[in-house]
Chain A
Amino acid sequence: AQKITQTQPGMFVQEKEAVTLDCTYDTSDPSYGLFWYKQPSSGEMIFLIYQGSYDQQNATEGRYSLNFQKARKSANLVISASQLGDSAMYFCAMREASTGTASKLTFGTGTRLQVTL
Protein backbone atom coordinates (compact mmCIF):
# COMPACT_ATOMS: atom_id res chain seq x y z
CA ALA A 1 0.00 0.00 0.00
CA GLN A 2 1.17 3.50 -0.77
CA LYS A 3 2.23 5.37 2.33
CA ILE A 4 1.78 8.78 0.69
CA THR A 5 -0.82 9.37 -2.01
CA GLN A 6 -1.08 12.50 -4.11
CA THR A 7 -4.01 11.97 -6.43
CA GLN A 8 -3.64 15.13 -8.53
CA PRO A 9 -0.92 14.71 -11.16
CA GLY A 10 -1.53 18.27 -12.37
CA MET A 11 -3.40 21.35 -11.26
CA PHE A 12 -4.08 24.76 -12.76
CA VAL A 13 -4.83 27.91 -10.76
CA GLN A 14 -5.23 31.53 -11.74
CA GLU A 15 -2.88 34.09 -10.33
CA LYS A 16 -4.05 35.51 -6.98
CA GLU A 17 -6.42 32.61 -6.37
CA ALA A 18 -6.01 29.99 -3.64
CA VAL A 19 -5.28 26.35 -4.46
CA THR A 20 -5.33 23.13 -2.43
CA LEU A 21 -2.99 20.26 -3.17
CA ASP A 22 -4.12 16.95 -1.74
CA CYS A 23 -2.08 14.49 0.28
CA THR A 24 -3.28 11.41 2.13
CA TYR A 25 -1.04 9.14 4.13
CA ASP A 26 -1.07 5.69 5.65
CA THR A 27 0.68 4.83 8.89
CA SER A 28 0.01 2.95 12.09
CA ASP A 29 2.73 4.90 13.90
CA PRO A 30 1.19 7.37 16.39
CA SER A 31 4.18 9.70 16.00
CA TYR A 32 4.97 11.03 12.56
CA GLY A 33 5.70 14.22 10.68
CA LEU A 34 4.47 15.45 7.35
CA PHE A 35 6.50 17.69 5.06
CA TRP A 36 5.80 19.54 1.85
CA TYR A 37 8.54 20.34 -0.63
CA LYS A 38 8.48 22.47 -3.76
CA GLN A 39 10.54 21.57 -6.82
CA PRO A 40 10.69 24.33 -9.44
CA SER A 41 11.77 23.64 -12.99
CA SER A 42 15.37 24.34 -11.97
CA GLY A 43 15.23 21.09 -10.02
CA GLU A 44 16.13 21.88 -6.43
CA MET A 45 14.00 20.65 -3.52
CA ILE A 46 12.73 23.49 -1.33
CA PHE A 47 11.18 22.78 2.07
CA LEU A 48 7.87 24.59 2.57
CA ILE A 49 6.05 23.47 5.71
CA TYR A 50 5.92 20.82 8.43
CA GLN A 51 3.09 19.30 10.47
CA GLY A 52 3.66 17.00 13.42
CA SER A 53 1.13 14.33 14.33
CA TYR A 54 0.76 15.76 17.83
CA ASP A 55 0.54 19.39 16.77
CA GLN A 56 -2.72 20.88 17.96
CA GLN A 57 -2.89 23.57 15.32
CA ASN A 58 -2.56 23.49 11.56
CA ALA A 59 0.85 24.67 10.41
CA THR A 60 1.22 27.95 8.57
CA GLU A 61 4.22 29.55 6.85
CA GLY A 62 3.45 32.77 5.03
CA ARG A 63 1.16 31.95 2.10
CA TYR A 64 1.39 28.23 2.83
CA SER A 65 -0.87 26.44 5.26
CA LEU A 66 -1.66 22.83 6.02
CA ASN A 67 -5.20 21.54 6.30
CA PHE A 68 -4.39 18.66 8.65
CA GLN A 69 -7.22 16.20 9.27
CA LYS A 70 -5.72 13.49 11.41
CA ALA A 71 -8.74 11.20 11.52
CA ARG A 72 -8.95 11.23 7.73
CA LYS A 73 -5.15 10.93 7.43
CA SER A 74 -4.91 13.89 5.12
CA ALA A 75 -2.49 16.82 5.07
CA ASN A 76 -3.46 19.08 2.22
CA LEU A 77 -1.30 22.05 1.28
CA VAL A 78 -3.13 25.33 0.75
CA ILE A 79 -1.39 28.08 -1.18
CA SER A 80 -3.11 31.43 -0.88
CA ALA A 81 -2.85 34.29 -3.40
CA SER A 82 -1.02 32.19 -6.00
CA GLN A 83 1.88 33.76 -7.85
CA LEU A 84 3.49 32.84 -11.15
CA GLY A 85 6.56 31.74 -9.21
CA ASP A 86 4.47 29.08 -7.48
CA SER A 87 4.44 27.05 -10.70
CA ALA A 88 6.35 23.93 -9.74
CA MET A 89 6.10 20.30 -8.68
CA TYR A 90 4.97 19.81 -5.09
CA PHE A 91 5.79 16.75 -3.02
CA CYS A 92 4.23 15.54 0.20
CA ALA A 93 6.46 13.37 2.41
CA MET A 94 6.17 11.55 5.73
CA ARG A 95 8.64 10.64 8.43
CA GLU A 96 7.55 7.97 10.89
CA ALA A 97 9.10 7.86 14.35
CA SER A 98 9.34 4.08 14.02
CA THR A 99 12.16 4.59 11.51
CA GLY A 100 14.20 5.60 14.54
CA THR A 101 17.59 7.16 13.97
CA ALA A 102 17.18 6.67 10.26
CA SER A 103 14.65 9.50 10.07
CA LYS A 104 13.70 8.35 6.59
CA LEU A 105 11.25 10.22 4.38
CA THR A 106 8.65 8.55 2.17
CA PHE A 107 7.55 10.73 -0.73
CA GLY A 108 4.39 10.92 -2.78
CA THR A 109 4.49 11.07 -6.56
CA GLY A 110 3.93 14.81 -6.64
CA THR A 111 1.50 17.34 -8.08
CA ARG A 112 2.52 19.71 -10.84
CA LEU A 113 0.99 23.14 -10.28
CA GLN A 114 0.70 25.63 -13.09
CA VAL A 115 -0.26 29.21 -12.23
CA THR A 116 -1.88 31.12 -15.08
CA LEU A 117 -2.54 34.80 -15.69
Chain B
Amino acid sequence: NAGVTQTPKFQVLKTGQSMTLQCAQDMNHNSMYWYRQDPGMGLRLIYYSASEGTTDKGEVPNGYNVSRLNKREFSLRLESAAPSQTSVYFCASIKQVYSNQPQHFGDGTRLSIL
Protein backbone atom coordinates (compact mmCIF):
# COMPACT_ATOMS: atom_id res chain seq x y z
CA ASN B 1 0.00 0.00 0.00
CA ALA B 2 1.66 3.21 -1.17
CA GLY B 3 -0.31 5.62 1.05
CA VAL B 4 0.34 9.23 0.02
CA THR B 5 2.70 9.69 -2.92
CA GLN B 6 4.27 13.02 -3.79
CA THR B 7 6.17 13.86 -6.95
CA PRO B 8 8.76 15.10 -7.48
CA LYS B 9 10.88 14.57 -4.37
CA PHE B 10 13.30 17.37 -5.24
CA GLN B 11 13.10 20.33 -7.60
CA VAL B 12 15.13 23.45 -8.31
CA LEU B 13 13.43 26.34 -10.07
CA LYS B 14 14.41 29.76 -11.21
CA THR B 15 12.47 32.79 -10.01
CA GLY B 16 9.40 33.28 -12.18
CA GLN B 17 9.14 29.70 -13.38
CA SER B 18 5.96 27.72 -12.82
CA MET B 19 5.65 24.27 -11.30
CA THR B 20 2.99 21.79 -10.24
CA LEU B 21 3.53 19.48 -7.29
CA GLN B 22 1.57 16.27 -7.54
CA CYS B 23 -0.03 14.30 -4.73
CA ALA B 24 -1.99 11.07 -4.91
CA GLN B 25 -3.40 8.83 -2.21
CA ASP B 26 -4.67 5.29 -2.58
CA MET B 27 -6.47 5.01 0.76
CA ASN B 28 -9.88 6.26 -0.44
CA HIS B 29 -9.50 9.30 1.79
CA ASN B 30 -11.93 12.17 1.50
CA SER B 31 -9.87 15.15 2.65
CA MET B 32 -6.47 16.26 1.38
CA TYR B 33 -4.07 19.00 2.44
CA TRP B 34 -0.98 20.87 1.35
CA TYR B 35 1.49 22.16 3.97
CA ARG B 36 4.81 23.90 3.78
CA GLN B 37 7.56 23.42 6.34
CA ASP B 38 10.12 26.12 6.99
CA PRO B 39 12.90 26.07 9.60
CA GLY B 40 11.65 27.07 13.02
CA MET B 41 8.05 27.44 11.89
CA GLY B 42 6.55 23.98 11.95
CA LEU B 43 4.07 23.04 9.24
CA ARG B 44 1.69 25.64 7.90
CA LEU B 45 -1.43 24.87 5.90
CA ILE B 46 -1.49 26.27 2.37
CA TYR B 47 -4.71 24.85 0.92
CA TYR B 48 -7.00 21.98 1.64
CA SER B 49 -9.79 20.01 0.03
CA ALA B 50 -12.35 18.75 2.51
CA SER B 51 -13.98 16.58 -0.15
CA GLU B 52 -13.81 15.94 -3.87
CA GLY B 53 -14.88 19.05 -5.73
CA THR B 54 -14.07 21.54 -2.97
CA THR B 55 -10.93 23.51 -2.13
CA ASP B 56 -10.28 26.19 0.46
CA LYS B 57 -7.48 28.47 1.57
CA GLY B 58 -5.41 27.70 4.60
CA GLU B 59 -3.06 29.90 6.58
CA VAL B 60 -0.55 30.80 3.81
CA PRO B 61 -2.29 30.55 0.38
CA ASN B 62 -0.71 33.52 -1.41
CA GLY B 63 1.26 32.54 -4.51
CA TYR B 64 -0.34 29.10 -4.80
CA ASN B 65 -3.26 27.44 -6.51
CA VAL B 66 -4.65 23.94 -6.11
CA SER B 67 -6.74 21.47 -8.04
CA ARG B 68 -8.60 18.48 -6.64
CA LEU B 69 -8.49 16.48 -9.84
CA ASN B 70 -10.47 13.55 -8.45
CA LYS B 71 -10.79 11.81 -5.11
CA ARG B 72 -7.23 10.48 -5.31
CA GLU B 73 -5.28 13.47 -6.57
CA PHE B 74 -4.64 16.96 -5.21
CA SER B 75 -2.08 19.15 -6.97
CA LEU B 76 -0.37 22.37 -5.87
CA ARG B 77 0.71 24.92 -8.45
CA LEU B 78 3.19 27.75 -8.19
CA GLU B 79 2.40 30.09 -11.08
CA SER B 80 5.45 32.36 -10.71
CA ALA B 81 7.91 30.96 -8.21
CA ALA B 82 9.61 33.29 -5.74
CA PRO B 83 12.62 32.63 -3.47
CA SER B 84 10.27 32.95 -0.46
CA GLN B 85 8.57 29.76 -1.64
CA THR B 86 11.72 27.74 -1.07
CA SER B 87 10.48 25.14 1.37
CA VAL B 88 9.61 21.52 1.97
CA TYR B 89 6.05 20.78 0.85
CA PHE B 90 3.97 18.03 2.36
CA CYS B 91 0.72 16.56 1.16
CA ALA B 92 -1.55 14.81 3.66
CA SER B 93 -4.90 13.05 3.66
CA ILE B 94 -7.53 11.75 6.06
CA LYS B 95 -10.55 9.56 5.52
CA GLN B 96 -13.02 10.76 8.11
CA VAL B 97 -13.37 13.91 10.07
CA TYR B 98 -14.74 14.06 13.63
CA SER B 99 -12.55 11.16 14.53
CA ASN B 100 -9.27 10.31 16.17
CA GLN B 101 -7.69 9.38 12.87
CA PRO B 102 -4.41 11.12 12.11
CA GLN B 103 -3.57 12.76 8.84
CA HIS B 104 -1.33 10.57 6.70
CA PHE B 105 1.60 12.41 5.14
CA GLY B 106 3.60 11.94 1.98
CA ASP B 107 7.39 12.01 2.12
CA GLY B 108 7.60 15.65 1.05
CA THR B 109 8.94 17.65 -1.88
CA ARG B 110 12.05 19.76 -1.34
CA LEU B 111 11.71 22.83 -3.52
CA SER B 112 14.47 25.40 -4.02
CA ILE B 113 13.89 28.60 -5.93
CA LEU B 114 16.93 30.54 -7.06
Contact = CB atoms under 8 A, between A and B. Distances in A.
Interface stretch (A12-20, A68-76, A78-86, A97-105): A97-105
Contact of B40 (A45, A52, A104, A109): A109
B50 A103 contact: yes
A47 B104 CA distance: 8
A50 B102 contact: yes
**Interface residues of chain A: helix, strand, loop or mixed (majority):** mixed
Contacts of A9: 40
Contacts, number: 65
A43 B88 contact: yes
Contacts of B103: 35, 47, 103, 105
Contact of B44 (A50, A102, A107): A107
Interface residues of A, number: 25
Interface in B1-54: 31, 33, 35, 40-45, 48, 50-51
A103 to B, nearest CB: 4
B105 A104 contact: no
Contacts of A106: 45
B43 A91 contact: yes
A107 B92 CA distance: 13
Given A100-B50, A102-B56, 14 more contacts: A43-B108, A44-B105, A45-B90, A47-B104, A50-B102, A91-B43, A93-B43, A102-B31, A102-B48, A103-B97, A104-B33, A107-B35, A108-B42, A110-B42
